[in-house]
Structure 1
Amino acid sequence: MKKYLLLFCFIFLSINYVVSFQKPNNNCKYLTDLRKKAKELYFKGEQSASRKVCIISLSFIESIEDNSECIVKLHSKILGRLFYIEKNALNYSKALFFLDLNKKLQKKFPFYFPSYNYSIKLQEASILSRLDEKEKSNTILFKMLENKEKFKHIALGEIFIYNHTIDNYFNLFSEENKTWILDSIINHSKKAYDIFYEKRNELKQDKYKDAISTFYTRLGRVEKHKENYEKATVFLKLAKENNTDKESIFIDLHLSSCYFYLNKPDSTIHYAKSFLQKNKDLKASGRLLYAYNILSKQYYKLQEKDSAYKYAKLTLSEVNKNHFYKNKGIKKMFNNNIDKIKLNNQNILKSQKKSFISILLLLIIIIIFSTFLFSYKYYKSVQKEKKYLKLVKELRDKSNKKKQKAIKIKDESIERIIESLNYFEKSEEYLNSNFTLYNVAKRINTNTTYLSKIINQKKNTNFKEYVNKLRMEYVITEIAEGEKFQKYSIEAIAKEVGFSNASTFSKAFKKYTGISPSYYIKKVVSDKESK
């Protein structure tokens, strides 16, 4: 299903491209327009779109069977464009296929190509360089420079030879890292620029600006290789100022690299992403790997792990593609550091996984702790509820009990003291803050020691606990049966029942009942409202 969908899309796009050029009566004019469109798309970085236009052009040439000079020459140029498209995509077998077709075409019509072998030789030198045959490539180019007089009638023919030679020198420097190579690059770049300068009046403004941009780009790259990154950025920015978005589409990548080593993360990320945005169609290239690798390293330095992880995965995806291991030139372009790049980005992925595991463990600990805390609070809540219900039950039982029989005590003195205490209980004098052991003993004409001893024996507690118990039972009853205490603050209740402050009262209440007074009041009110 996917294959049929892709085929349909290709046919639809092909028809669109053909329809976009209204076919004139003149085949040459129609084919010229197609070639211009392919060239325009190529220099915009839209390689796939350019390839489609070229294939449409070849289909058109085959259909018309026209061997006129215009058609044959355009045919050769279109084959040349397809050669460079496939070479840039690292499809070297396809590139060689189109090169071979072009050779056969020029041999078949030699009278149309007085400078036979010029474009063919350039393409041969270019592909040999990519196939790591730089010595053979340079031999072809140097011979062409020796015989440059033959190509004088070709517009800017000598410059194209210089351009290929300079590219070879850059690739050679990646392998050998020798200063003389950079000097040769500068020397050849100046010669190429001088030719442009001499012919500036004959050229279109855009063409001359592109020449300036290319010259500054090369100077910037040389300074970058010398590790003069500040100076490199100056040249590269001059290149951007003169760039017409046709020739120098990789300036942003060089700028990103310089800013990475200058430790300027914002600029590094900006230019790397700008390069990727402008080169969306760059499906297979060492430059794509370079951009992803810079971004993964920069984000990792910034501790932005999600972004570092994203670009590390993209970097490894590029590294793992077969063409990187098959192509020695690309490995040398990275100074044979492909394996190191792979290892560094694998480490970034591992650190992200470790971070994920740490977060996961932390979440598990939080969940366990939260569950424990919830369970503990629930348990405490249940215990409070049980104590409250027990208190309510005791209160009901107390109200239903008959009055206890009077204690039979033979000793008149003990009986008198007990009767006095019973009186104090009935009269609720224990609610007075002055209801102390000393004052009570004084009122019933006894001493504190004797009074304390009787309370211990008869009440099974000490005086303080005895008084607190009376006060607590009073408060519990008042809250349960009346509305006054339900509306009081804890401070007011404390004062009402003889405590000096709310804190002492709350502690005594909780000790006696197991729950706080505020909780008890809340539950009593809630129960009444529910009824």
Structure 2
Amino acid sequence: MPKENFSLLSYKKLKELYKNNEKDQNKQLIYAKAYLAKAKKDNVSIEKARGWYFISLIHSGDKAIQYLDSTISYSKNLNDLNFPAYAYSRKAYELKYQSKYREAIDNFLIAEHIAKKNNPDFYHEVKYSIAVLRSEELGETNEALELYKQCFKYYKTKDVKSDKYSYAYQDVLFALADAYKALKQSDSSTYYNKLGYKESKLTKDYEYNALFILNEGANLVEKKKYYTAIDSIKKALPKMIYYKNIANLLASHYYLGKAYAGLGKEESAVQNFIKVDSIYSKTNKITPEFTSGYPYLISYFKNKKDKEKQLKYLNQFLHIDSLLNNNYKVLSKKLQKEYDTPNLILEKENLIESLQSNRTKSYWGIAVLFLLVTIATAFGFYQYKIKKKQYAQFEKLMNKVKEEPEIKTSEEVKEVKSVKSGIENIGINQEIVDQILQKLNHFEQTKGYLISNITVQSLSETFETNSKYISKVVNVFKEKTFIQYINDLRIEHALHALKEDHRLQKYTVQALALEFGFNNAESFSTAFYKKSGIKPVYFIKQLEKSYKV
């Protein structure tokens, strides 16, 4: 049809032509522009908004956001069922793709607020989107799970086999299964994976059918049923490639890596973890769930004495770790302030409204509310006391951590040895004791304790002496077990390093553990607390505050 005749077509016909040409964006753009031209000529605000929205769908990035802002501008005060809620949600996704998470959250929240008034279907779509962001981008699985449950409850009242609701319903089933997997509730995860598998079979959604197979494979990895897991993941993998589902292609290789690692098949595990890194390098997209392959690669290449690759994956891991950590700190606080709190207030308002409708029940409700407030106040006071105690401990540490710990001179070492020898005879030749003390002093000066997996046996080989001698000398002269001695040295160093090196303050606990010679975050955190009386996260938080003052 010639361009000049488009004005004769109805909005409905132009919209139909637009939708029927999804595979030809050039034609879509022609129909979208025709739609917008007609709306401008007729001066109908909602149709102008819809025209700009159609154009935005053909674009991405800043261009799409520009068109979506026009949609929002024309539809802001119209109380339409779809706009501007659709535009805010679409804009949120575009911002999310650009890793502008703070702005994305703002737009999701606005979309949800608008849709709540008159569009329950879209309201639950946006609620689901917020839940996905919390689960996948922030690792706030428990909070996301509650939102998924609300969506599941809503869709269960609909015809979930219809075209209108089947995809959204399967989205929620997959999200529930994935969340339960992350929370180590594998039986619940299996339940929703099986339910999703059946639904996707009935609706002939082959991509989602493969996703449920993949997700159950990942769940089986967590159950340590590695061979069955590998079989499931390999069945799903070709579909991820066929549908160009890059995010779940990355997930496939990650869980294959975990499964092979569980079986002790290092080479296969490393191949898959390297593929994870390769996909990340191309897309610059990864979530916290899939980062634990990096410590495996670092350890593998360390054992192989391949320092180049060890450094490569260490740098990559710390880079990812730092980016994720910074993004999530901001987002987590924002969601607590702008999403959790408003929804809690809404629940409170609904409760008050319910109380007013039934005078008899209201007395009980007020009593319960009073009890909750009392409990919350008591809990708040308890938290205040804990925080006060922690801060006092922090100040005490800061007063002590003013300079690097003093390393004893050779003469001081001999003096300590002499005093101890006067107290008891430890049954070791005096010359050997002298040698071990001097070597321990050198060991402390050179920070040998930062080497991971160090043991009394490995140190005795380095010192060319008996491990029992080292253990006994440390017990008597350091007045600690060997493990306590090593951990205390590491934590003393950590306290000074964190205070002096602001870069380290951006690391996560896992990254800091590796930095200071520990194998995992838990052992580092436990040793830190035992030595300092506070957790490393709290120490870093207070350091950051002290620099801002």
TM-score range, shorter chain: 0.3 to 0.5
Calculate the TM-score normalised by the size of structure 2. 0.45
Calculate the TM-score normalised by the size of structure 1. 0.46
Give the structure with higher Rg (CA).
Answer: 1
Question: Which is bigger in relative contact order (C-alpha 8 A, separation at least 6)?
Answer: 1
